[in-house]
Amino acid sequence: MAIDINKLKTTTTTPMQTARDAKTTGNAAQAAPKAATAAIKTDSVSITPQAQVLQSVQSKMASLPEIDQKKVADIKQAISEGRYKVDPEKLATNIASFELQLSGLKFQED
């Protein structure tokens, strides 16, 4: 995201009279600094809904168990030996469930 530096507002400073300057002018009341009347603008940050969804997904992913390498090796072995059978109904159910979960996430397209 680019920041347009040409549109930044700068505050103007007002000259302050020092005690030495007040002595030369003979007016001690002018030695007190003038209060700044310019409003101070503070920075702010807002998190987009997309970032909030990503943060939620990231925390859910972090809570998932790690990959069971033994199970992966067993499945690879079963596939290579021709013993691994796919249940098409279970696969279809899992795909539908996954798509349902994805449809619940609302992403804004740019």
Q: Identify the band that residue 83 occupies on the pLDDT scale cut at 50, 70 and 90.
A: very high
Which residues, at least 6 apart from 47, have a Cβ–Cβ distance to it below 8 Å? 55
State the pLDDT at residue 45.
86
- Please state, as a whole number, how many other Cβ atoms lie within 10 Å of the Cβ of residue 50: 13
Give tens-digit pLDDT for 22-70: 555 555 444 445 555 567 888 888 889 999 999 999 998 888 888 888 9
Compute the mean pLDDT over every residue in the chain, rounded to the nearest whole number.
77
The token pair at 3 is 């920041």
Q: Supply 30's token pair.
A: 């002018």
pLDDT of 17: 61
**Long-range contacts (CB closer than 8 Å, 24 or more residues apart) made by 56-59:** 57/105
**107 neighbors 50 (Cβ within 8 angstroms):** yes
Distance CA 10, CA 95 (A): 56
Q: What are the boundaries of each domain within the chain?
A: 68-110
User: pTM for the whole thing?
Assistant: 0.32
Instruction: Enter the DSSP assignment of 38.
Output: S
Please tell me the predicted confidence (pLDDT) of residue 32.
46
pLDDT of residue 65: 81
